[in-house]
Amino acid sequence: MAKMDIGQIGKEVELRLADQLKASDRLAKEEARKQALQATQKLLRSLQSPEETILQYALEAGSQRMAIRCAVDLGIFGILSRLGGGSVTSKELAEECRAEQLLVTRIMRALVAIDFAAQVDIEAYAATRISLAMATPAMEGGVIMSNDFAGRIFINIHEYFREKGYKSPTNGKDCAMQWAFNGPDDFFTHLHKNPKKTTAFNNYMTRIRSTRRHWTEWFPVETEVLEGSKGEEGCLLIDMGGGKGHDIETFAARFPNAKGQLILQDIPGVINNIAELKSGIEPMTHDFFTPQPVHGARVYFTHFIFHDWSDEVCRDILRNLMPAMTPGYSKILLNEVVLPDMNCGPFFAALDLNMLANLAAMERTKSHWIELVESVGLKVTSVRVSPFPGDAEGIIEAMLPLESSTAQENPVGVGLESHT
């Protein structure tokens, strides 16, 4: 059994905090902050008794999620955020929320215990920085999505596994989602039938993407994409299933002098509702479950597409793409989570189980990605993971294998460049 030296961990916390104070730029400060946070969390776990840790997750976490979700529904965080440093009583909250005062007091008690609100007097409350963040559409959306979908499934998923067998589901149309909601709709069908939840989902996803490092900040685009491209004569990059164009617009802004066509692809319901797209990007309707119509592009790019699907469905997407690729030239770049084989952080471990619950899908490790992509006849040429602390987003790069002996010399997974 691994033991933790509290004194040693305490010294690590002091060191990381000192690093943050000494950091000279925003990036360095953020890296030092995350390292200090990890060390502090380790110290907290070492100070807690096993029983305290167990009850924290078994008893407290569920009750706290309930209080947060009810507070979102009642608009409590919006009220707190409008106080401008002032306070509000439970009676005033109850009147504005049209709720029973006793219930509001009980909800606020749970929120105060986790700093989602501050208590300034008996049944009187003020905002904290967490309250202010919770008042934003993005964070409200995150709570709604986590609670109303995966949270609803998680609460009884052990019964689903008892009935169906303890194995990872692979059919998004017949999985824990349908079992928990007692209906035939898959995740996205259910989502699109509920406009408020669709808005919550979009607000949350937009915020999550804006806070993460874009792949062009750490992937060697110049050497792996721009060098050797056909320039103005060819298509440089196609963003498949790219939504409203966030990724491809970021690419275009970062490399304004890049030569070649830029294409944004998605289904008609998405493409036809794009209000504005950066000049030089061509919108195109395309379903990636059908053959790719644009042949010979330098890069076929996807972002968080494959983690929505089982391995077999991912193979179908790749098989529809491969005939359009030019051997030795075209590349597939999959911008996906690459889970570590050891000591995965809580966010990405939780994300994987959310994909299981909502979509019968998954996040994948490096070896899983290689096995999946190469199972259809592609060759994985590199797996790179973001170098930023706490991030597990990566780029899986694949090409059609050359019909030469040298293309067969490198067995699966050997010699692959990996930045972890």
Q: Can you tell me the distance from the alpha carbon of 394 to that of 420, in angstroms, rounded to the nearest whole number?
A: 9
The phi, psi pair for 238, rounded to 5°, reads: -115, 125
What size, in residues, is the chain? Answer: 420
Burial label, 210 (beta-carbon count in 10 A; 0-12, 13-18, 19+): exposed
The phi, psi pair for 102, rounded to 5°, reads: -60, -45
The residue annotated as part of the active site, out of 158, 307, 368, 419, is 307
- Read off the tokens for 75: 């608009």
Indicate if 192 belongs to the active site.
no
Helix axes 101-113, 90-97, angle to 10 degrees: 120
- Read off the tokens for 396: 């899986």
Q: For 216-291, where are the E strands, in sequence order?
A: 235-240, 261-266, 281-285
DSSP 8-state class, residue 326: P
- Read off the tokens for 198: 């669709």
- Reduce the DSSP state of residue 388 to 3 states and report it: coil
- Read off the tokens for 79: 């009220």
Q: Can you tell me the distance from the alpha carbon of 130 to that of 61, in angstroms, rounded to the nearest whole number?
A: 17
- In a 13 Å sphere around the CA of 155, the CA atoms on its Cβ side amount to 14
Query: Is 164:230 a contact under the CB 8 Å cutoff?
Result: no
Burial label, 253 (beta-carbon count in 10 A; 0-12, 13-18, 19+): exposed
Q: Which amino acid is at 234?
A: G
Contacts by residues 11-15 (CB-CB < 8 Å, ≥ 24 positions apart): 12/39, 12/42, 12/43, 13/39, 13/40, 13/43, 15/39
Q: Could you please report the per-residue DSSP string of 174-213? A: SSHHHHHHTSS--HHHHHHT-HHHHHHHHHHHHHHHHHSP
- Read off the tokens for 12: 């690590």
Would you name the residues annotated as active-site residues?
307
